[in-house]
Amino acid sequence: MDESKKITSSEWMIVAASRALQGSRTVFVGVGLPNIACNLARRTHSPEMELVYESGVFGAQPARLPLSIGDPTLVSGATSVVSMADLFMLYLQRGLIDIALLGGAQIDRFGNLNTTVIGDYHKPKIRLPGSGGACEIAINARRIFMIMRLSKRAFVPKIDFMTSPGHLDGGDERVRLGMPGYGPDKVITDKALFTFDNPEREMTLAELAPGETIESVQAVIGWPIRVANQIRQMSLPSAAELTVVREHLDPQGLYR
Amino acid sequence: MSTTGKLVTMRQAVADHVPDGCTIAIEGFTAFICFAAAHEIIRQRKRDLVLCRLTPDLIYDQMIAAGVAAKLVFSYLGNPGVGSLHCIRRAVEHGVPRPLAIEEYSHFGMVGRYMAGAANLPFFPLRSYLGSDMPAANDQIRFVDSPYGDGSIAVVPPLKPDVAFVHAQRADVHGNTHLWGLLGTQKEVAFASKKVVVVVEEIVDEEVIRRDPNRTLIPGLIVDAVVCEPYGAHPSYVQGYYDRDNDFYLKWDEWSRDQAATEAWLEEWVYALPDRAAYLDKLGRETLDRLEPGKLEADPVNYGRYG
């Protein structure tokens, strides 16, 4: 492999997400980077991982990179293909999903997500896709990882619309509302990795990508970011991981 | 119920079952999206329809650009894997070519609405919407207290479309329908709807259905019309018959950027053509060959003869 080929910001996120998935048995997957991250995890450290798609596929083993979550390659060779009613009721709501990967246009300090509108709901500046399955996934999956590029436009003090609840106003509000899942656990970005490992359930800077500092990360976050006592460096993607991504999962470089 | 005479052309099915102003569902999650039905509805210049679908996809983008709809009921508004649905955004944001009302749910909410409609229940309870702004944006999403003391739970109302077009691999002339691959909400929407038009890649003998009854998703009992329309789901796909035309989905992003360009596309590919056969001729053998999926067959199973 060409070691001189620069590691892209997408590759940082893919590899970081893949490593964070270690030990998870069932993962609810979306298209794009999450899809590559999950397939990388399955091909490296977690061959037993079951990929679950809201289109009704459990245990997908895609032979090519799926272009959408309803790609026919997810069906052929899967463990089970069920109706969407069964997928949401018997797999998600039943509590069988360990981790779900979500993203959004806006996120706040408690990991609440907006994928619906920028601006007012009835007079939006930008109309976004809406929930899809994200709202019920955010509530029912055991833990949520977010994969998002770090930018001031996305990491905002107040989201314009709460599509999918994270830790709401923080603390134990999810528990008080009777939500089954823990909620947001990690936010994986191109510049840093965040956790919510504190009683307030507030997003906390835990790892930095090479070249980044607390200040450079704070500069693109719309609120004073909480910082962990000990900050670690995000570890470098290995040659083996990059080979799987570049040569097998995304040979055309669609997500570079 | 008579089981003869259900086999009709798409033109006939749309003329018989899609009056102006009706509520219609053409489902299929990425797969089995019946563009053949949509194009015929556009050709017959239907108006004021209420369109229901989890993912409006290109099919409703085209219908809304053609001005057939007054309202959209949905849960995810995007061109899957590509980006925005430009025609629907034009209608929502600028009223072009006509204003479009929207009623928005999550996927599970839409699935639950079909389930309640299909099972004749007053509502469907689901563990969703807690803490979300979606109930504030749509007063049809409500919460009730569990009568068994487990706290509050979200509910959605039944959805019973006037008519559903359900695409599948094969059916017999009675409308007994085999479907495999992504089941989506095809069964639920069929049972929820007052009328059902089944659209299939091929008509098979009743014995083919009876030799594999576990694969019968929809019984002819609830089917009003059967249309045979090979490649009727292009540019979406039918498992084992053809692949998704991803190039088309990418190009639509460009073709749909403004209303004039979209109307030119509709003129060339819908209004100027008499039917689906003409569309396939125009599409060409080369495209259809490109979408050939190859073979991966399941092993036969033994049901047993028992007598």
- Domain boundaries in chain B? 10-105+160-290
**Cβ–Cβ below 8 Å for A132 and B181:** no
As for how many domains chain A has, the answer is 1
Strands, E assignment, B10-54: 23-26, 49-52
Is A26 domain-assigned?
yes
Decide: helix, strand or coil at residue B97.
Answer: coil
Domain B10-105+160-290: CATH architecture, name and number where available: 3-Layer(aba) Sandwich (3.40)
CB-based contact B168:B133 (threshold 8 Å): no
Contact between A131 and B134 using a beta-carbon 8 Å cutoff: yes
CB spacing of A85 vs B111 below 8 angstroms: yes
CATH of the domain at A43: 3.40.1080.10
Residues shown for chain A? 256
Q: What is the mean pLDDT of residues A129-137?
A: 97
Tokens matching residue B169: 């691999």
Q: How far is A179 from chain B (nearest CA, A)?
A: 8
Would A256 be classed as within a structural domain? no
- For residue A114, the enclosing domain spans 9-249
> Which residues in chain B have their CB less than 8 angstroms from residue A55's CB?
29-30, 182, 184
CB distance A199 to A114 below 8 Å: no
Q: In which residue are the tokens 């803490």 written?
A: B131
Closest-approach residue (CA) in chain B for A136: B128
Both tokens assigned to A73 = 């390659």
Does A1 map to a domain? no
> What's the CA gap between B28 and B37, in Å, rounded?
13
Task: Determine, for residues A81 and B137 on separate chains, whether the beta-carbon distance falls below 8 Å.
Answer: no
DSSP output for B173-219? TT--EE--S--TTHHHHHHHSSEEEEEEEEE--HHHHHT-GGGEEE-
Closest of A106, A53, A39 to residue A255, by C-alpha: A39
**Inter-residue contact B69 to B63 (CB < 8 Å):** yes
| C-alpha to C-alpha distances, A130 to A87, B78, B160, nearest whole angstrom | 20, 9, 23
Question: For chain B, what percent of residues have pLDDT higher than 90?
Answer: 94
Cβ of A104 under 8 Å from any chain B Cβ? no
In a domain, A255, yes or no: no
Q: Which residue, B147, B85, B134, B78, is CA-closest to B108?
A: B134
Q: How confident is the model at residue B148 (pLDDT cuts 50, 70, 90)?
A: very high
The verdict on a CB contact (< 8 Å) between B182 and A55 is yes
Record: contact B29-A116, CB cut-off 8 A: no
Q: Pick the closest to residue B248 from B45, B36, B42, B59 (CA basis).
A: B59
Instruction: Report B:257-286 residues touching A (Cβ under 8 A).
Output: none
Indicate the range of A120-134, A184-198, A211-225 predicted with least confidence.
A120-134
- A179: which chain B residues are within 8 Å (Cβ-Cβ)? 130-131
Greatest CA separation for chain B: 66
Contact A196/B at CB under 8 A: no
What distances in angstroms separate CA B70 from CA B15, B41, B54, B60, one per listed residue? 19, 14, 17, 12
What is the amino acid identity at position B234? H
pTM above 0.95, yes or no: yes
Distance in Å, alpha carbon of A25 to nearest chain B alpha carbon: 22
Pairing of strands A57-58, A50-53: antiparallel
The strand pair at B23-26 and B163-171 is best described as parallel
* Residues of A taking part in catalysis: 54
Nearest to B108 among A71, A133, A177 (CB): A133
Q: How does pLDDT run across B185-222, given as a tens digit for each residue?
A: 999 999 999 999 999 999 999 999 999 999 999 999 99
3-class secondary structure, B277? helix
pLDDT single digits (tens) B83-141: 899 999 999 989 999 999 999 999 999 999 999 999 999 999 999 999 999 999 999 99
Q: What is the rounded CA–CA span in Å between residue A145 and residue A17? A: 8
Query: A189 in helix, strand or coil?
Result: coil
Nearest Cβ partner of B30 from A68, A130, A135? A68
Instruction: Say if B138 is an interface residue toward chain A (CB within 8 Å).
Output: no
- Say which amino acid occupies B67: G
**Burial class, B97, CB count within 10 angstroms (exposed 0-12 / middle 13-18 / buried 19+):** middle
Establish if A2 belongs to a structural domain.
Answer: no
pLDDT tens digits, residue range A56-105? Answer: 999 999 988 888 889 999 999 999 999 999 999 999 999 999 999 999 99
Distance of residue A215 Cα from the nearest chain B Cα, in angstroms: 32
| Number of residues written out for chain B | 307
Quick one: pLDDT at residue B4? 60
Among A120, A173, A140, A125, which residue's Cα sits nearest to residue B137? A120
CB-based contact A139:A184 (threshold 8 Å): no
In A, residues 217-246, which contact B (CB 8 Å cutoff)? none
* A133 contacts B107? CB cut-off 8 A: yes
